[in-house]
Amino acid sequence: MDALTLLRLHIEWGADEALEDAPVDRLRPRPLDGNAANRPPLAPRARAGAQTGSPLPPAGRAGPAPGPPGNVPPGNVPPGNVPPGNVLASPALQAAAAAGQAQSLADLRAAIAAFEGCALRDTAASLVFAAGDPNASLLLIGDPPGEAEDRSGTPFAGPDGALLDRMLASIGLSRDSLLLTPLIPWRPPGGRPPNAGEIAVCLPFLHRLIMLSAPSRLVIAGALAARTLLGAPRRRSAPAWIELTVPGASIPIPALALPGPAMIARTPAARRDAWAALRLLRRTLDTELAKS
């Protein structure tokens, strides 16, 4: 693959910056003559402070914390106590601080729209925020926005949204009776999956949305959303309610995972799993209605 083709591939994947192989110690004094031969060699990444003898950065000046590998467990980002505009805080801490100040869904939407700590905001066409009934007892969380959601700014739009409407209608529900939201509020460039760092930055906003809407149950539609919030699923397991602990919540919230509409549309096995989960949802709602 020639260099031009490789560069175009990187742009298509969403790469927007180049990184050096080793970290640069910006606190180390530099020679005045600019002669590269006289400059001390860069220390290896893991032991930069120990091998060079240079002082470690002071507390509170550390760079952004790396995104969690693999799954992003709920509660990974602590409640924010750093002002949102503090450039010394990591983007995840800035997001947690901005989300924590929101006292309503309208406040939260404004905080997300003004947040500058995630590069996805600059490449997406629209902010995709929650839609539906803000007082609904069910919150439906989907995978990151697709092309139709990015154009409309509405979760579960386009063909996937039409399929979701039919799925809900099969058990006597409609999207107007639910609150719907994506896992993250922006579509990654080219529709690629978001990386762990991007999810970690956006997760405080989702956690705050859950706290503000206060649903009695969660329905998580999509493999990435389920894996992020609930962890790796057990293979070939029957659908079941799983207790999800949300940062700031006093009690866990029951959550039910089912395949996303896109997976259901192209995979017959996913349709069987989705129907089993929908039936469980309907039975649960009927039981709670009978008790009330």
* HSE-CB for 281 with a 13 A CA cutoff: 27
pLDDT of res. 72: 42
Count the helices and strands in the chain (H runs, E runs): 11, 6
Distance from C-alpha of 94 to C-alpha of 91, rounded to nearest angstrom = 5
Q: How many angstroms separate the Cα of 137 from the Cα of each of 105, 184, 187, 217, 219?
A: 15, 21, 27, 6, 11
- Identify the pLDDT of residue 1: 66
Rounded average pLDDT per 10-residue block, the chain, 292 residues: 73 69 66 49 44 41 41 44 55 96 97 96 97 96 97 96 96 96 97 96 98 97 96 78 92 96 92 95 95 84
Q: What is the pLDDT of residue 74?
A: 42
Closest of 169, 71, 155, 65 to residue 109, by C-alpha: 155
Residues 6+ apart with CB under 8 A from 43: 22, 25, 49, 51, 52
Q: What are phi and psi of 142, to 5 degrees?
A: -110, 180
Q: State the virtual CA torsion across 188, 193, 197, 201 in degrees, nearest 10.
A: 50
Separation of alpha carbons 99 and 111, rounded Å: 7
Residue-level pLDDT at 249: 87
Please give the pLDDT value at position 47. 40
Quick one: pLDDT at residue 96? 96
pTM of structure: 0.71
- Retrieve residue 141's tokens: 């969380």
278 near 167, Cβ under 8 Å?
Answer: yes
